[in-house]
Structure 1
Amino acid sequence: MMGKTRSSDAVRVGSTIMLMAAMVVSVSGHNYGLALSKSILFFEGQRSGKLPPSQRLTWRKDSGLRDGFEIGVDLVGGYYDAGDNVKFNFPMAWSTTMLAWGVSEFGREMGPHLPHALDAIRWATDYFLKATSVPGVVFVQVGEPYGDHNCWERPEDMNTPRTPYSVSAQFPGSEVSAEIAAALAAASLAFRPVDHRYSALLLSRAKTVFEFADKYKGSYNDSLGPRVCPFYCDFSGYEDELIWAASWLFKATKAPNYWNYVVQNIHHLDYYKFKTFNSLPNGVGSFAEFGWDTKNAGINVLAFEIVMKDNNNTDLFMVNADKFVCSVLPESPTKYVNYSPGGLLFKPGGSNLQHATALSFLLVVYARYTNLAKRVVQCGNVKATPARLIQVARGQVDYILGSNPMNMSYMVGYGRKFPQRIHHRGSSLPSLDQHPQQIGCKDGTPYFESRRPNPNLLTGAVVGGPDIKDRYNDSRADFVHSEPTTYINAPLVGVLAFFRWHPYP
């Protein structure tokens, strides 16, 4: 524990911190600390439930206050996933896991923004404690997606069905249950230094939910069908979520049974055929994938950190973590992602910036781990040093913040030029302060079709991003490119925290 700092030393330390912050801005032209604060603030705009007095995005008001009441369960709270008003727990849980991993990994670098990051995590975990409060049942969604998507209305006004959907022993959903377990376990680590009692509660529930997910194996695709598909189908199977959750539980508990589970089941991940994206070349495995659906690359990076200190079974995870790096590195002979002329990483699927932020997070984390292990990733005849991985990640972050052919920030409220007409109901409709009367299901259509900028600034929201030719059409109707999501922002929080503190030329 550090002793008290003398006043003169404190002045020097403070001056050094200010200088480092200035260096970050001057080296890149971007204020990563400012971007970090905004990226966290975005989550307040996605909140469902009774908003607290500390709410900073004040144009948002209470919503979904009776979620779950029709079946006698309190399901108030949590997040809307994107520009709609449905609570999809699968992507919400992964977003929470990533926020928690960002805090666990880069919490010290967050400085004054750390309490807000913890608030963002807690808004989700309080809800997940409710969603897992009934023994033998895990609630996985609130809201009827087709009815919701047929309306353009504020969350404060929504009158579409708020049907709760759940999985159980008879109708399993291992992927979403296991991801909730991972989120609770990861969050327990984030809260451990500041709220030990809450951390212990999260960890206890994570164990219970993981046991449920593993005991009653099955996909929620089969149990809930069109209620979750095509919105958030699980394309890659539930085995990755079970292993991902076990990895986080081992990290949080050090209990050998969780690590044994990882090692004994890792073979279930198919590293040589990937069934989601058939466009990938032969030989590209799911080791290259990471996001709300597929956890494989994250498992290998996380597991490498777990085992590198013991030098035990390191190769099992290091080989595939290295393959992931080589699939992303622009100069790698085994690169399997595309890059736009302006340098933005592209993978198949919509909302492309989710790939840029998630993979950048893994690059920065793996750079930290490989640096500690004093090793360099070898991609054929190309050496990928930790510094090079960080450089690639920073290129993606800088692109998002405005260093691109459009000279446009894709984070709302950051920079001089950013998206004005994002695909987001609450942002695009006048707030209750401006229009206290209800706006009905179809009454919002003229606002959706309008070419006028959104009246409410969803500060920090990162949209789906430009096309592969670096073009961006600022249109609400073009939701693939103009819709923000929690799972775009969540990994970006950790990356921005890293760059806030570590200036690299």
Structure 2
Amino acid sequence: MEGDEGRRRRRRRRREICANSVVVFFFFHLHAAAASRDSFDYGEALTKSLLYFEAQRSGHLPHDQRVTWRGHSGLTDGLEQGVDLVGGYYDAGDHVKFGLPMAFTVTMLSWSVVEYGDAIASAGELKHALEAIKWGTDYFIKAHARPNLLWAEVGDGDTDHCCWQRPEDMTTSRKAYKIDRENPGSEVAAETAAAMAAASIVFRESNPHYSHLLLHHAQQLFEFGDEYRGKYDVSIPAARSYYASVSGYGDELLWAAAWLHRATGREEYRRYVVDNAYALGGTGWAVNEFSWDIKFAGVQILVAADSKLLMEGQRLQDRQKSILEQYKARAQDYVCSCLNMSSNSNNVGRTPGGLLFVREWNNMQYVASAAFLLTVYSDYLAMAGNELHCAAGSLGPSQILSFVKAQVDYMLGSNPLGLSYLVGFGSKYPKRVHHRAASTISHKVDKSFIGCVQGYDKWFVRRRGNPYVLIGALVGGPNAKDQFKDTRDSYMQTEACTYNTAPMVGVFAKLHQLERHQSLT
């Protein structure tokens, strides 16, 4: 007969199961209710998100430029150093071209197309998505002037932030900064490698020659970053106050190797991801954010979702199989922490309105990147026929996607303020985005020169909305209490960045595809 201790264990287990079921039900019932308050056009959001990248272009703008209030800028970039560095993207509301966040932006745009290219195409936006990627990769080809040299920044943040000028009027320093063997920068070399490897997959069918060129640069950059290891913000101190590498370069090296494996299928890259898992931190600790600086969660989910890598893993030694399983386990930890279903204090914070909250400064970047990773992970689970198992219960792919939809709907207006944080979407959105070009009269309308101080005195401080709507920009978003201050000097909330919007291209495409499918069935 079963003893008292056995019966107590069974009763305790039944209580745990019931409690977990209640938690899961309440969690998704709450978010489903929040999401149902409004119905959003995700296809429109996708279209507008891609338009934003045209507003961020540096260089000589093409004849089919759709953001017509912008003009040519940065046309002498690199001249002082004897290299052509015209082009690329301004990262946010200023005019510095920071290589690390620019490369991450292109990686995420490319990953969006790799995973959801068909959905983007069915929405009629594939051409614009490819143009957004190519504007970045064309610049990286120029910046990678030699195998062991990469120009990683153009402009100086300190002088730039003392000015409020249109990009067409720039009088601030356009000094260019490089990494090389004597001054290594593994983070930016590896992230640029990842961007070009991911983009090589995107262009494989439509432009095979360009795809091959990108892959060649990616392989060289990865070898450079791995052989000559060092933190890029030590070699380029000018970047430290703006894009300091807190996580180090281990995550970027693993990230680049994982993308090169996906692009080539070559054994050496698979071996790198497995053999360096511990030394570079890929499986050593669970993280609850994914960003331009911290790529570990991206590596873990990329490995978990790479069926080619996992199939190869079936033929590996037990130790190597175990490492791949640890990557998958860390990916699961990240997803559980976003869902607030982890067993420890690693759960991501929430605002009272339900938005994921990591930190005050530009929090929406973490929401966007989490939404993308969870979307990819839900697809991976669906294809594998599996569920997510967290400490607080088990969930299916559709439940994870329901949570993503709730986060996206919050962005688009289903929140306590009824405000869309995607600029230009809906009837109520930020009107005073912290952005020099959008907040100042267009050079095409008024060609008179606007100086640094004049820009602050006349345009930055004015209370009226910006002359131009920065369509598709995802601003920093509300604070921890769902509060938002729509002023240009509230830059933690009103500044937008390219790496905020980039992950949303794939998420919007996925949600638009699902809505179309549901409407047809």
Instruction: State whether structure 2 residue 297 is matched by structure 1 residue 297.
Output: yes
Shift, 1:457, TM fit: 1.3
Is the contact between residue 254 and residue 282 of structure 2 (CA under 8 Å) also seen in structure 1?
Answer: no
Instruction: State whether structure 2 residue 325 is matched by structure 1 residue 315.
Output: yes
Shift, 1:483, TM fit: 0.1
Q: Which amino acid aligns with 1:369?
A: Y
Are residues 151 and 218 of structure 1, via their aligned partners in 2, closer, same or farther at CA, if it must alter by over 3 Å? same
Secondary structure, counterpart of 1:51 in structure 2: coil
Are residues 308 and 369 of structure 1, via their aligned partners in 2, closer, same or farther at CA, if it must alter by over 3 Å? farther
Is the contact between residue 433 and residue 494 of structure 2 (CA under 8 Å) also seen in structure 1?
Answer: yes
Instruction: State whether structure 2 residue 47 is matched by structure 1 residue 37.
Output: yes
1:365-388 alpha-carbon deviations (Å, 9 max, x no partner):
000011111111111141121111
Cα distance in structure 1, aligned partners of 2:277 and 2:406: 32
Cα distance in structure 1, aligned partners of 2:222 and 2:310: 25
Cα distance in structure 2, aligned partners of 1:469 and 1:495: 25
Alignment partner, residue 207 of structure 2: 195
List aligned pairs for 1:32-431, cutoff 5 A: 32-111=42-121, 112-225=124-237, 227-270=238-281, 285-306=285-306, 307-310=309-312, 312=314, 313=321, 314-334=324-344, 336-348=347-359, 350-431=361-442
When the two structures are superposed, what TM-score results if normalisation uses the length of structure 1? Answer: 0.90
Cα distance in structure 1, aligned partners of 2:143 and 2:392: 50
Alignment partner, residue 11 of structure 2: none
**Greater Rg, structure 1 or structure 2?**
2
Cα distance in structure 2, aligned partners of 1:181 and 1:67: 22
1:15-71 alpha-carbon deviations (Å, 9 max, x no partner):
xxxxxxxxxx99961000000000010000000000000100000000000100111
Cα distance in structure 2, aligned partners of 1:490 and 1:173: 24
Are residues 146 and 71 of structure 1, via their aligned partners in 2, closer, same or farther at CA, if it must alter by over 3 Å? same
Secondary structure, counterpart of 2:62 in structure 1: coil
Shift, 1:452, TM fit: 0.5
Cα distance in structure 1, aligned partners of 2:482 and 2:37: 24
When the two structures are superposed, what TM-score results if normalisation uses the length of structure 2? Answer: 0.88
Shift, 1:347, TM fit: 0.6
1:372-422 alpha-carbon deviations (Å, 9 max, x no partner):
111111111411211111111111111111111111101111000000000
Alignment partner, residue 486 of structure 1: 498
Shift, 1:135, TM fit: 3.8
Cα distance in structure 1, aligned partners of 2:255 and 2:271: 13
Cα distance in structure 2, aligned partners of 1:308 and 1:168: 35
Shift, 1:434, TM fit: 2.1
Cα distance in structure 2, aligned partners of 1:381 and 1:222: 42
Alignment partner, residue 11 of structure 1: none
Secondary structure, counterpart of 2:398 in structure 1: helix
Shift, 1:193, TM fit: 2.0
Secondary structure, counterpart of 2:151 in structure 1: strand
Is the contact between residue 251 and residue 281 of structure 2 (CA under 8 Å) also seen in structure 1?
Answer: no
Shift, 1:162, TM fit: 0.2
Secondary structure, counterpart of 1:378 in structure 2: strand
Cα distance in structure 2, aligned partners of 1:455 and 1:251: 44
**How many corresponding residue pairs?**
469
Shift, 1:290, TM fit: 1.1
Q: CA RMSD in A?
A: 1.7
Cα distance in structure 2, aligned partners of 1:27 and 1:483: 27
Are residues 403 and 272 of structure 1, via their aligned partners in 2, closer, same or farther at CA, if it must alter by over 3 Å? same
Is the contact between residue 341 and residue 391 of structure 2 (CA under 8 Å) also seen in structure 1?
Answer: no
Secondary structure, counterpart of 1:156 in structure 2: helix
Q: Which amino acid aligns with 1:254?
A: G
Is the contact between residue 289 and residue 358 of structure 2 (CA under 8 Å) also seen in structure 1?
Answer: no
Q: Which amino acid aligns with 2:50?
A: I
Cα distance in structure 2, aligned partners of 1:287 and 1:150: 35
Worse-superposed segment, 313-322 or 74-83: 313-322
Is the contact between residue 269 and residue 296 of structure 1 (CA under 8 Å) also seen in structure 2?
Answer: no
Cα distance in structure 2, aligned partners of 1:430 and 1:268: 52
Is the contact between residue 48 and residue 472 of structure 2 (CA under 8 Å) also seen in structure 1?
Answer: yes
Cα distance in structure 1, aligned partners of 2:282 and 2:140: 31
Q: Which amino acid aligns with 1:315?
A: E
Shift, 1:286, TM fit: 4.4
Are residues 347 and 358 of structure 1, via their aligned partners in 2, closer, same or farther at CA, if it must alter by over 3 Å? same
Shift, 1:316, TM fit: 2.5
Are residues 393 and 269 of structure 1, via their aligned partners in 2, closer, same or farther at CA, if it must alter by over 3 Å? farther
Shift, 1:332, TM fit: 4.4
Cα distance in structure 2, aligned partners of 1:376 and 1:230: 42
Q: Which amino acid aligns with 1:168?
A: D
Secondary structure, counterpart of 2:276 in structure 1: helix
Cα distance in structure 2, aligned partners of 1:50 and 1:126: 13
Alignment partner, residue 444 of structure 2: 433
Shift, 1:430, TM fit: 0.3
Secondary structure, counterpart of 2:125 in structure 1: helix
Instruction: State whether structure 2 residue 467 is matched by structure 1 residue 464.
Output: no
Shift, 1:272, TM fit: 8.8
Cα distance in structure 2, aligned partners of 1:264 and 1:288: 24
Q: Which amino acid aligns with 1:190?
A: V
